[in-house]
Chain A
Amino acid sequence: MMRTVSAAETAPTTHPWVVHTEGLRVRAGRHLAVDGLDLALGTGVHGLLGPNGAGKTTLMRALATVVKPAGGRLTLLGEPVDGRSDLRRVRRGLGYLPQQFGFYPRFTVREFIEYMAWLKEMPKTVVPGAVQRAIDRVGLTAKANARMKTLSGGMLRRAGIAQAIVNDPEVLLLDEPTVGLDPEQRLDFREMLRDLGVDSCVLVSTHLVEDVVAACTDVVMINEGRLVYQGTPDDLITQGGQGDAGDSPAERGYSALLRRHRAGTGR
């Protein structure tokens, strides 16, 4: 299913990076979860890796403008995001799937995505077509009129992905999107990611290293709120050797980088 492309979308951009942070600090409660992170992301699919507690979810929340940064600079789509900026323009180009996907159980899938499309201030005439396109892309066409409380975990996750992509965002933030998806659905999801990464900047936070290697053009690793590594998946594989822990070359590269970072910070 196709959609019309507006002139504003094909206009050249004046910002060098879609997502640009300099020394970003974000609090989660009282703890400083993101501590001096320098990140520059352009178009493509970026995989965000890191151990639990590294600050991945907090970083995603800060990029989604849900949480205000405590310090440093954050620039999204060329606009600075701080306490005083007008967030509406930036948020129209964002799509976000949180790790804990809260939903309204009595809505049907279609109604929920239409509600999110309305909240994202999409023009009313465009909404029905965009919603149907999002539902078809994630493969929920058969369940489009089912109530959300009747869906299984994987289908809920896919409904969450559908609401994130309904406005064709320039920055798409997916926090653990493949939780609950079976292997065939994961393959379909990787295909969809590759398709999305052509036009927009997608940041996928995941624990599954194989998903990152298969679908991502760029790997970002963070630990304890700081950047450990940013490079292509092939470079990640070359970082690891036979002596490192892991069952696949990518996992070995991941554990090698983590070990070196922990040794470097003296832990």
Chain B
Amino acid sequence: MTTHPNLAVITRYAAGGSGLDDATVWSVEVHLEGCPECRAHLAGSTTDDTRALLDRVAAGLDGGIAAGPLPVGRRQPWSAVHRRWLAWALLPWLTMTVAVLGCAFLLEALRPDQPSLLLLLAPVAPLPGVAVAWSRRADPAWELIAGTPAAGITMLLRRTAAVLAVVIPALALAGAGSGVSLALMLLPSLAFTAASIALGAVVGVRRAAAGVGVLWLLAVVLPSVVIEKLPVILEPGSVPVWALAIVALAAFAASRADGYRRLSSHR
């Protein structure tokens, strides 16, 4: 810190700096920036004119603040969900998914000798939500978002996590209610989500989800319902296979991470 100026210099500075040369004024200002004691001296020696000016400025600021627009309210995180587009776009699809799972649960309770419809439908449960979350048709601002740096696999995973946050608890609840192994309920649905995301790098997420879902329904669900026997891949011993599939598909999706930069990958 520079040396403290004496009181007479500070008083002359407060009165407007008459009689002081420029170099003294500058050194006093630089010193005042860092020394609270000398600032207190300055406050004690302000002239009446300066005090009147400060009062006018304060009154003007108060008037401006009172007349101006209100400050933006603090964002409450718990109320943010209802404003999100994704919540409203997903609501019908997730309601349908939960309703279908509920019906499958009821059917299983009524006809316990049939193969578990819940187990058969669990893998395709998240797929409608995933398809809606990353599709040009469902997202009104897709063109804006597709041109931003943040568009890519991170955003897709965030939206998929929102879908899974609803579907996985519903599956777990239904599975616990019907006494099926929890791993067997949840792992196939995660594997199918990973499959539609991984294939989405090649053909677009919406098409991949639709294709994978339809394939499963035609190739596995329909024959199982007709033959009245659970397929081999849904036996309790196949849990490690599903876990391996999840890891492999996730690795594939990560290796093609650049393919998600435009909302419908291959075009």
Contact = CB atoms under 8 A, between A and B. Distances in A.
B72 A145 contact: yes
Interface residues of B, number: 25
Interface residues of A, number: 35
A263 B83 CA distance: 54
Given A84-B258, A86-B258, A87-B261, A119 B145 contact: yes
B151 A119 contact: yes
Contacts of B147: 64-66, 91, 94, 96
B149 A121 contact: yes
Contacts of A119: 145, 148-151
B140 A68 contact: no
A68 B150 contact: no
A106 interface: yes
A116 interface: yes
Contact of A103 (B140, B146, B150): B140
* Closest 7 pairs between A and B when the two form their complex, measured CB to CB: A102-B140, A119-B148, A91-B149, A98-B143, A88-B149, A104-B85, A102-B141
Contact of B144 (A87, A96, A110): A96
A193 B210 CA distance: 45
A120 B150 contact: yes
Contacts of A104: 83-85, 140-141
Given A65-B262, A66-B146, A84-B258, 20 more contacts: A27-B267, A64-B147, A67-B262, A68-B262, A87-B261, A88-B152, A91-B148, A91-B149, A96-B143, A101-B144, A102-B139, A102-B143, A104-B83, A104-B84, A104-B85, A104-B141, A111-B83, A120-B150, A121-B148, A144-B69
B142 interface: yes
A106 B267 CA distance: 30
Interface in A62-91: 64-68, 84, 86-89, 91
23 contacts: A65-B147, A65-B261, A65-B262, A66-B143, A66-B146, A67-B267, A68-B267, A86-B258, A87-B149, A91-B148, A92-B149, A102-B140, A102-B141, A102-B142, A104-B140, A106-B83, A106-B84, A116-B148, A119-B148, A119-B149, A120-B150, A145-B69, A145-B72
Contact of A107 (B83, B145, B258, B261): B83
**Among the interface residues B88, B152, B262, which one has the most CB atoms of the partner chain A within 10 A?**
B262
Interface in A96-144: 96, 98, 100-104, 106-107, 110-111, 116, 118-121, 141, 144
Contacts of A91: 147-149, 151
Contacts, number: 75
Interface of B: 69, 72, 82-85, 88, 139-152, 258, 261-262, 267
Contact of A106 (B85, B141, B144, B262): B85
Contacts of A89: 149
A116 B261 CA distance: 16
Q: Binding site of B, secondary structure by majority: helix, strand, loop or mixed?
A: loop
Contacts of B142: 102
Contacts of A141: 69
B144 A116 contact: yes
Nearest to A91: B149
Nearest to A94: B147
Task: Identify the interface centre among B85, B140, B149, B151: most chain A CB within 10 Å of its CB.
Answer: B149
Contacts of B140: 102-104
Nearest to A90: B149
Most buried by B among A66, A67, A100: A66
A94 B267 CA distance: 20
